[in-house]
Structure 1
């Protein structure tokens, strides 16, 4: 599977951009999956639902299935957080995996930067940053993509993974 990440500080617009890029790439016929890292405790289940009750009773895994989707929840119960590589191995085959977060992962990444976010840029020190999606020009030789043009970001990703023609 081809894997590319989106790295940026909270409030930079990663989720909005990723959502738009997924829609565009999917409409272009690619099978796209996503891994999102959360830095905080999160829950996709709802208190009082059967699956929530089973997890809180002690189940290590709860798989919920219907005619529309299935979901597997795994409680770490003191185990270490899974690596990105281990998480990628859990995915079904697809054309492209977008990774949101995991800003220190050794995968190609697009940094998402807005002028409103003042934290330090990643691109000067991270050799895995392959482009920057931004709202202002930046002092870098990396490709700079308009953060408000998701189609251009999607096209960059497609071209990034396109095979190089022999003799080109």
Structure 2
């Protein structure tokens, strides 16, 4: 059995992370264990200058694992090529999770919910992405309503986290 994967894609400024924080809290309240993969378009450094782990990595270590009784962090240097989406998923302990949520990686082939905020005046992303199952929006002008009506996508209220949680919970149950 593979762990269900569900992504959230949107234009910058739509509120992906804010929505995911709310969603994760509700899923955890429902005893659903969640992993999150977030794609970054810039250099990522979660380590802090001056800490031993930072010094070890800066000295040339290609991989560093920080491990304590509460948490484990894995830092891998990838100067020549970023890890693929599949490699990233492979790092997860699937025995401990019920769902993988993804923010970004919009061109990868996994199912997604598109978030659309009308005030940003941006085009839909689902037109160039066949794996969008639903669109969560905050109301649409008539032209975009007509455009969306042609698609067979579930419509969700971007501001109704309970509705989105119900959709995600159903998705998990349908993909187990």
TM-score where L is the length of structure 2: 0.87
Alignment deviations for residues 58-92 of structure 1 (CA, whole Å, 9 cap, x no partner) = 110111111211111011132x1111111111101
1-structure distance, mates of 2:135, 2:56:
43
2:88 maps to 1:87: yes
**CA contact 1:60–1:77 (8 Å) conserved in 2:** no
1-structure distance, mates of 2:128, 2:69:
47
TM-score where L is the length of structure 1: 0.91
**Higher helix content, 1 or 2:** 2
> Does the residue aligned with 1:55 lie in a helix, a strand or coil?
helix
2-structure distance, mates of 1:83, 1:117:
30
Which residue of structure 1 aligns with residue 172 of structure 2? 161
Residues matched between the structures, number: 163
2:53 maps to 1:59: no
Off by >4 Å, runs of 4+ in structure 1 = none
2:43 maps to 1:41: yes
1-structure distance, mates of 2:40, 2:128:
23
2-structure distance, mates of 1:114, 1:48:
41
> Does the residue aligned with 1:43 lie in a helix, a strand or coil?
coil
1-structure distance, mates of 2:174, 2:119:
36
Q: CA deviation at 1:35?
A: 0.4
Which residue of structure 1 aligns with residue 29 of structure 2? 27
Q: CA deviation at 1:154?
A: 1.3
> Does the residue aligned with 2:127 lie in a helix, a strand or coil?
coil
RMSD between superposed Cα atoms in Å: 1.5
2:134 maps to 1:123: no
Alignment deviations for residues 24-44 of structure 1 (CA, whole Å, 9 cap, x no partner) = 111101111100000011211
Q: Which runs of 5+ in 2 are unaligned?
A: none
Which residue of structure 2 aligns with residue 98 of structure 1? 101
